[in-house]
Amino acid sequence: MKRLTRIFCLFFLLIIAGKVYSSNLNDGFKALKEYDYFKAKKIFESHLLKQFIGAGYGLSMLYSISNNPFYNIDSAHIQIIRVKSAYDKLPEKQQKKWIKYQIDSKSILYLSAQIDSMAYVIANTEPTLEKIEKFITEYQGSKEIAEAAKLRNKLAYDIAYSENTLQAYSKFISKYPDAEEVKLARERYEELLFNSFSNKNAVEAYELFIQAYPTSPYVPRAKDSIYTLISKDKSVLQYYTFVRRHPDFPQVNEAWKKIYLLGTYDLDTKSFMDFMLHYSDYPFSDSLQKEMELSKMTFYPARKESKWGFINEKGELIIPYKFDWVNNFSEGLADVGIGEKTAFIKKTGEMVIPPMYEDVSSFHMGYSIVKFNDKYGVINKFNKIIVPFEYDDIDTSYVGLYPISKNGKSGFMNFQAEIVIPLMFDDVTKFSDGLAIVKKDGKYGYINQTGNMAIECKYDYAESFTNGTAIVKVDGFFGLIDKLGALVLNIEYSSIGSFQDELILIEKDNLFGYANNYGRIIIPLKYDYLSDSRIKSTFKDNFAVVSLKNQFGLIDRSGKVQIPLKYNDMMPYSEGLIAAKKTGKWGCVDTNNKIIIPFSFDKIWPFSEMVARVMTSSKVGFIDKKGKYFIPLTYEDATDFKDGLSKALLAGKYGLISRENKILIPFEYDKIEQVSAQLFRVTKNEKIAYWNISNQLFLWKEEGFE
């Protein structure tokens, strides 16, 4: 303000310094120069009628000087506007007569501009909307109008913003349509409008908003909110309700994806067929059909240049070689290795769980135990964390409550990740017969499924309950207890076997006998306990092998001797015959001790699938129940027949033979593994291949396999 005043005074002095005064008008300018403002005002006012242009110009100057009692910038502005109007109406000849006073169009415009600038400075000092509006209205020709308009718009927007109502923003937009702040005002208006509906957070309110304001930028958010609210529990029914209710919403594809994932969670053929039946309007039927067809296929791991993928039953590569390792598919997903991490993929090859875990178990009953940052948790097939990563160990093999451990303490949790039995034990096992073994302070006991102690921790060792009884140990001796903790069999035995045919082997002082599940000793402890007695002497099909003074025989469940104890060794009863050793050779007798197969073999194993392995002179073959060679003594080793197949060893290499001694897999391989009824994985020189025994052809071979 002071700077403008100094500029104006300088301008004034320059003008009057060069004036040639005439009459009393000159006296007015002289009085201004001498700061005699009263005199100047009186002179100028007296000449207004006859010499308006000069007198008005002088008054305009007078009113513009801030250090005089007549200072009034608005009056100065009025005077200079009138002067300009009058001057512009004069003929050019008459205009020239005012040049002697240094009054011309340029000086008038210059003075007018200076007055305008001073007026804007005044208005802009502690500006208000009213002051700036007044300036814009009264100073239309000012060069500050544009700047003033911006300031006015900002002040008006600030007022609307402080009120923050729909009405305030609407008024601003209507009154100042060209303001830069209109964009912000519209945004705030739209936001407030949306909030007026969204405050209820109800589906119906959002739907009404979309119907009433279809072009609002908040329509997408309203649709998102509707989707979230309708599917709040993330159930198939809710997602499907959304799809049917709002088929044109952009979230429909996502909703269908959720329906598909939930509806086909098991990822088996049945789940895909059921989905197709229940959701005939599913828009991606081609992908559904493809996944259903893939679900019917069996995939096999295959390798190329140290990378793994999957082939199908035709040997066709379905999932490319790109993983560091793979496991078989389980419940529609396979765990695969990528670097040091594990991921899960579908049969389409789509990665449904990213490589983020250090270790995983295959999916079982829809869940996988996974390790993350050296702690275990449980996830489902959507990678949703069911049990947080807080535990040192988790066992989900049991349906219901499952053991967990953390910081050296163990307890039980359910699949809702709720700790049902606190982590207060040193160790726990899964529940069996309604009770679980727990360890506390070095002793074992049992709890029920509510976590209450059923049998106190007082045993040095304990086994799970089976058929109402459990083996326990105290001070080096074993006994049996029932589920109330009462003794069924005194704790006085050196070892106890497992129940078979309702009898259990018990041993004391190197002698063994048998008791029933009521603790009654059915067969006295009179037989020699040997290192393999718990295997050979467990009852099978009502018979058990017993020994005394290195002589073996056979007894029935009543203890009656079926085969006298006169053999050097004996195998367990199998398929009506018992392999026995006599004078260094093996043969077979029946339960009446009748010799069925002469004692002529170096070794006979139990019968399996009506034939038995035999060995003579380090060669292995098979005989039938009459002792006739079923397969000659040819092989260095062989397994018992299972499903008509035996893996045999010849010249240091493995092959596969049938019951007819037909070579189904040549004796060329370092390893043979059965992967399906007809398909075997064979390994040779660390390379793998799949061999189909039905057509005697390779399904697939790794590069370099020969």
Read off φ and ψ for residue 580, nearest 5 degrees: -135, 155
Report strand pairing: 653-658 vs 645-650: antiparallel
**465 belongs to a structural domain:** no
Q: Report the distance separating Cα 24 and Cα 35, nearest Å.
A: 16
Q: In the prediction, which pLDDT does 6 show?
A: 47
Is the pLDDT reported for residue 490 higher than 60?
A: yes
Residue 15 CB coordination number (10 Å): 21
Q: What is the pLDDT of residues 506-538, one digit of tens each?
A: 999 999 999 998 999 999 999 999 988 888 899
Q: In the prediction, which pLDDT does 312 show?
A: 95
Q: Report the distance separating Cα 364 and Cα 370, nearest Å.
A: 12
Q: In the prediction, which pLDDT does 399 show?
A: 62
**530 belongs to a structural domain:** no
The stretch 197-220 carries a mean pLDDT of 95
At residue 461 the predicted structure's pLDDT band, cuts being 50, 70 and 90, is very high
Are 644 and 658 in contact by the 8 Å Cβ rule? The answer is yes
**81 belongs to a structural domain:** yes
Is the pLDDT reported for residue 364 higher than 70?
A: yes
Is the pLDDT reported for residue 16 higher than 80?
A: no
- Listing DSSP states for 339-387 in one string gives TTEEEEE-TTS-EEEEEEESEE---BTTEEEEEETTEEEEEETT--EEE
Q: In the prediction, which pLDDT does 336 show?
A: 98
DSSP state of 199: T
Q: Report the distance separating Cα 332 and Cα 343, nearest Å.
A: 14
- Length of the chain in residues, anyone? 706
Q: In the prediction, which pLDDT does 465 show?
A: 94
Q: Cβ neighbours of residue 228 under 8 Å, at least 6 residues apart?
A: none
**44 belongs to a structural domain:** yes
**110 belongs to a structural domain:** yes
Instruction: Look up residue 133 and give its two tokens.
Output: 């509006």
Is the pLDDT reported for residue 370 higher than 50?
A: yes
Q: In the prediction, which pLDDT does 100 show?
A: 86
The stretch 439-452 carries a mean pLDDT of 95
Is the pLDDT reported for residue 20 higher than 70?
A: no
**631 belongs to a structural domain:** no
CB-side exposure of 504: number of CA atoms within 13 Å? 23
Its domain, for residue 84, covers 2-123
**64 belongs to a structural domain:** yes
CB-side exposure of 174: number of CA atoms within 13 Å? 6
* 3-state class (DSSP) for residue 148: helix
The stretch 117-132 carries a mean pLDDT of 95
pTM equals 0.72
Q: In the prediction, which pLDDT does 398 show?
A: 65
At residue 397 the predicted structure's pLDDT band, cuts being 50, 70 and 90, is low
The count of domains in the chain is: 1
**10 belongs to a structural domain:** yes
Whole-Å CA distances, 191 to 181, 187, 209: 15, 6, 12
Q: Report the distance separating Cα 624 and Cα 381, nearest Å.
A: 50
* 3-state class (DSSP) for residue 25: helix
Is the pLDDT reported for residue 12 higher than 50?
A: no
The stretch 668-673 carries a mean pLDDT of 97
